[in-house]
Amino acid sequence: MLGVAASTLTRRNDLSSERRGERDRVLAPAEVLRLGAIYRKRSLDEVAKDLIEHARGISTRDGARIEGEIEAFFEARLGSEQAHKEIVEEARRRLGSEAAERIRRALSEPGEPLPEAFSGSIPPPD
């Protein structure tokens, strides 16, 4: 799912896993996504999608629970100072210092809360 060998993961000192049975160890969705952000072999969106599909394959109740955990991970990550630093650094590498500074300023400004739901339609581009 992460594009990383299991042996690579088992060597990590900071791995947070739960025992399942005699030999199996299971990672929580947030831990899988945290590792996905570290290794960057696949996009976090793809990893999250695979986690949800895997959980739904087990049961719809597990799928809904895992989806909630994944949403909480992304909400916490998007609002974090570390995430903003990563975004600005990536912008600096790809777009240059001037654009990165504009992005940094935009991220530091308080935004309006998103609406609970959208209604209507978006016209297609010309």
CA distance 109 to 98: 17
Supply the pLDDT for residue 70: 92
Q: What is the pLDDT along the chain (126 residues), one digit of tens a residue?
A: 899 998 898 888 888 888 888 888 888 999 999 999 889 899 889 999 999 999 999 888 888 899 999 998 888 877 677 778 888 998 999 999 999 999 888 888 877 776 676 666 677 776
Supply the pLDDT for residue 118: 65
CA distance 33 to 110: 27
Supply the pLDDT for residue 35: 92
